[in-house]
């Protein structure tokens, strides 16, 4: 048994399923645009926007706004901080599973 409580290592930002999913996508893709994310996660504009804002506020993702012709195109990418936080969160999940198997 490790002395520390693995629950404390879980990142609060990823308690929400949608935020966890957004980070998963940005871990394996250099960048992803808003509409593709919306299609992939199958959620509403407002819902996605609010979770993206939260991740942006934590500086886990960076936002890049541009125009494709006249259409605004917003791209998101994971920052180094975000990637590190996500990896730590995964490690904590792994630890939790190991402990549950023992118990």
Partner 1 sequence: MEEKQLHDDLASIRNLMERSSKFISLSGLSGILAGIYALIGSGFIYYAMRPVMSRFPLADNETITFTDDFWGETSFINILVLVGALVLVASVATGVFLTIRKAKKKGQPVWGNTSKLLLFNMAVPLITGAAIVLILISKGYYGIIAPASLIFYGLALLGASNFTFGDVKYLAILEVILGLAGALFPVYGLLFWAIGFGVLHIIYGSIMYFKYDG
From residue 63, how far is each of 2, 47, 74, 84, 102 by CA, in Å? 38, 17, 7, 18, 42
CA–CA distance, 60 with 55 (Å, rounded to integer)? 5
Return the range that interacts with partner 1 (CB under 8 A); candidates 37-45, 49-57, 58-66, 76-84: 37-45
Whether 60 contacts 76, CB under 8 Å: no
Out of 5, 27, 64, 73, the residue judged to bind partner 1 by CB under 8 A: 27
CA–CA distance, 85 with 20 (Å, rounded to integer)? 11
Out of 4, 5, 40, 80, the residue judged to bind partner 1 by CB under 8 A: 40
20 or 77, CB closer to partner 1? 20
Instruction: Report the interhelical angle of 17-28 vs 34-41 (nearest 10°).
Output: 120
Return the range that interacts with partner 1 (CB under 8 A); candidates 19-27, 49-57, 62-70, 77-85: 19-27
Out of 4, 7, 57, 84, the residue judged to bind partner 1 by CB under 8 A: 7
Enumerate binding residues for partner 1 (CB under 8 A): 7, 10, 17, 20-21, 24-25, 27-29, 32-33, 36, 39-41, 90, 93, 96-97, 100
């Amino acid at each position: 048994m490790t002395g520390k409580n693995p629950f404390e290592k879980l990142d609060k930002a990823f308690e929400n399923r949608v935020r966890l999913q957004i980070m998963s996508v940005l871990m394996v893709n250099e960048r992803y645009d808003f509409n593709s994310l919306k299609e992939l996660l199958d959620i509403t504009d407002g819902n996605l926007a609010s979770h993206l804002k939260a991740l942006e506020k934590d500086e886990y993702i960076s936002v890049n706004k541009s125009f494709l012709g006249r259409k605004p195109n917003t791209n998101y990418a994971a920052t180094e901080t975000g990637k590190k936080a996500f990896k730590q969160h995964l490690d904590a999940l792994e630890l939790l599973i190991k402990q549950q198997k023992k118990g």
